[in-house]
Amino acid sequence: MHGQKIYSFEGHEAPVYSICPHHKETIQFIFSTSIDGKIKAWLYDNAGSRVDYDAPGKWCTTMLYSADGTRLFSCGTSKEGDSHLVEWNESEGSIKRTYSGFRKKASGVVQGVVQFDTAQNHILAAGEDNQIKFWDVDNTNMLTFIDADGGLPGLPRLRFNKEGNLLAVTTVDNGFKILANSDGLRSLRAFGNRPFEAFRSPYEASAMKVSGAPVVAGISPNIGRMDNLDRNSPAKPSPILNGADPASRSIDIKPRISEEKPDKAKPWELMEVLNPQQFRVATLPETPDQTSKVVRLLYTNSGVGLLALGSNAIQRLWKWNRNEQNPSGKATASVVPQHWQPNSGLVMANDIGETPPEESVPCIALSKNDSYVMSACGGKVSLFNMMTFKVMTTFMPPPPASTFLAFHPQDNNIIAIGMEDSTIHIYNVRVDEVKIRLKGHQKRITGLAFSNSLHILVSSGADAQLCVWATDSWEKKKSVAIQMPAGKTPSGDTRVQFNSDQNRLLVVHETQIAIYDASKMERIYQWIPQGTLSAAISHASYSCNSQLVFAAFTDGNVAIFDADNLRLRCRIASSAYMSTTAINSNPPVYPFVVAAHPQEPNQFAV
């Protein structure tokens, strides 16, 4: 910190009243309000405000996010003295709900601006009429109010502590009071026997167990210290690089092996999960098209929902509700989610063209703010609104058909579209125009991944080739063939994914999982199916913190690897998360895709 000005945000036409810095994933931004009732949002780039909203009351307003960063609220007062407390729909820039309970002021009587705060992701508090008023965030009616034994100003200022069990409120004698619930009182006893006013939290969170065939799974956070297998267990991996291809030793890995820190779990010890009692699982509720196979699966970026694209070209959405069992409202294997549809009853059905959905190559991508999902199943690419399920637009009619989709990480209007004819189209949705066509593969495109730090797009194809494209010029920088195991044909779908540092690249093929240094496109590690994990790999993904790799196999196994060196840590048998009916069905039902939770590193869905 040198006190040097880096950014100057200019655009308000009246004095700024409040600011609210926030971040979502790697995107840092600031909300600001001014006394003319304008709300603006800024990225750290000197490029001007990204949004321009009108605050309710069009005067002084303060904005706050819930503790988990998923919900946005504002509270303010108009020049006429009327107060407004609302929750915003960020993606639409509209008010989601307005909370009632403020007293209508006499015309022309303005004492000041109402102040508010939020706690524990489900309580709102605001000071008005010499009182503190409380709301449940999911209910617009006021929950209760207290006067804290009197002595509060007309518009008291207030603030919760981080845990939400203490509330500080200003008094008319230039002091403040500390209010506490039962947890807060216990934490304050260390300061002596002083009188405190207790306020009661409306809810107490409790745990909930779920039974049934699993789809969402949660593994132990201490996966490196799992129960040990007997040395004669068939699940024991090879002692040589724990299953890694010995040929990969010659590719820049000697320092990594020699400098590798000893792990509390020895390399030849791993965990086998054989039944549901060994980890936490939850089953997604059935849908009208339950017989349709899930061919693509991903969590919403906010971590509150799971989106599945079926072989019938229909997308389904499940959401986790915020309640006593799940106060965060995040996806969890402890609570069963609900199949969600808008009140209109619309479903997200893709255009299928002339190709039967079962014979097409499905693809799906979600915008960073979860507002839009883009998908295709052999027909035109459809862009759906995630709140209404309405088709916003369709584009890129076949032939050729689209086979892979990826949003540009810095501009949701720019989309990379892999095609059946082996080309990649860089498409601008806003102007409905293909900016450029990239040619470098021999077969259809099966994977696309952007790296912000390296300014590249990596593509993979059914030709087992990897191509690197510069995102500033769209010129091809390099092309490499993935190194196939002996006797294997260089063909089949290849997927790519960058880890969180945007420098290492996960490459997945039915014959292998590999880690590449993307700056040089050199392979660092490779794992080849063997032993009890000898079936073909159907899909794999980094965990959200890029410390683990989850992999699904066509025989029903799921494996978990250390991402640093592809050391096998855990094997989850199909008996642990699939029903006996599914295992014994003909044809058998096996995992096709695996999705990692965007915020919980030990949770995934298959």
What is the average pLDDT score of the chain? 81
Neighbours of 55 (CB within 10 A): 26
Q: What would the mean pLDDT of 175-181 be, rounded to a whole number?
A: 89
Residue 208 confidence (pLDDT): 27
Asked whether residue 48 is assigned to any structural domain, the reply reads yes
Task: Return the top range by mean pLDDT from 324-338, 383-397, 574-588.
Answer: 383-397
Asked whether residue 513 is assigned to any structural domain, the reply reads no
pTM of the model: 0.61
- The torsion angles phi and psi of 184, rounded to 5 degrees, stand at -65, -40
Residue 586 confidence (pLDDT): 63
Helical residues (DSSP H) of 16-174, grouped into ranges:
none
Q: How confident is the model at residue 109 (pLDDT cuts 50, 70, 90)?
A: low
Residue 119 has pLDDT above 70, yes or no: yes
Residue 362 confidence (pLDDT): 92
Task: Give, rounded to a whole angstrom, the gap between the first and last alpha carbons of the chain.
Answer: 45
Distance CA 116, CA 102 (A): 12
Asked whether residue 78 is assigned to any structural domain, the reply reads yes
Residue 447 has pLDDT above 60, yes or no: yes
476-481 and 465-470 as β-strands: parallel, antiparallel, unpaired? antiparallel
What DSSP state is assigned to residue 189?
G
Asked whether residue 212 is assigned to any structural domain, the reply reads no
Asked whether residue 272 is assigned to any structural domain, the reply reads no
- Angle subtended at Cα 21 by Cα 17 and Cα 27, rounded to the nearest 5 degrees: 145
Q: What would the mean pLDDT of 346-360 be, rounded to a whole number?
A: 85
Specify the length of the chain in residues: 606
Residue 402 confidence (pLDDT): 95
Which domain covers residue 54, as residue numbers?
A: 16-190
Q: What would the mean pLDDT of 471-479 be, rounded to a whole number?
A: 95
What DSSP state is assigned to residue 183?
H
Residue recorded with tokens 């706690």: 119
Residue 241 has pLDDT above 80, yes or no: no
Asked whether residue 436 is assigned to any structural domain, the reply reads no
> Sign of dihedral through CA atoms 248, 252, 254, 257?
negative
Q: How confident is the model at residue 249 (pLDDT cuts 50, 70, 90)?
A: very low
Domain harbouring 89, CATH code: 2.130.10.10
Asked whether residue 572 is assigned to any structural domain, the reply reads no
Q: What would the mean pLDDT of 85-111 be, rounded to a whole number?
A: 79
List pLDDT tens digits, range 11-29.
898 999 999 999 887 788 8
- The torsion angles phi and psi of 580, rounded to 5 degrees, stand at -60, -35
List pLDDT tens digits, range 313-340.
999 999 998 888 888 888 888 888 999 9
Tokens (6 digits) for 8: 């100057």
List CB contacts of 119: < 8 A, sequence separation 6 or more.
Answer: 67, 125, 160, 164, 167
List pLDDT tens digits, range 555-564.
889 999 999 9
Residue 280 confidence (pLDDT): 77
Residue 253 confidence (pLDDT): 28
Asked whether residue 359 is assigned to any structural domain, the reply reads no
List pLDDT tens digits, range 427-442.
998 899 999 999 999 9
Residue 358 confidence (pLDDT): 72
Distance CA 567, CA 237 (A): 9
Which one has a higher pLDDT value, 207 or 46? Answer: 46
Residue 106 confidence (pLDDT): 55
Residue 584 confidence (pLDDT): 73
Number of domains composing the chain: 1
Which one has a higher pLDDT value, 143 or 495? Answer: 495
Residue 360 confidence (pLDDT): 86
Q: How confident is the model at residue 486 (pLDDT cuts 50, 70, 90)?
A: confident
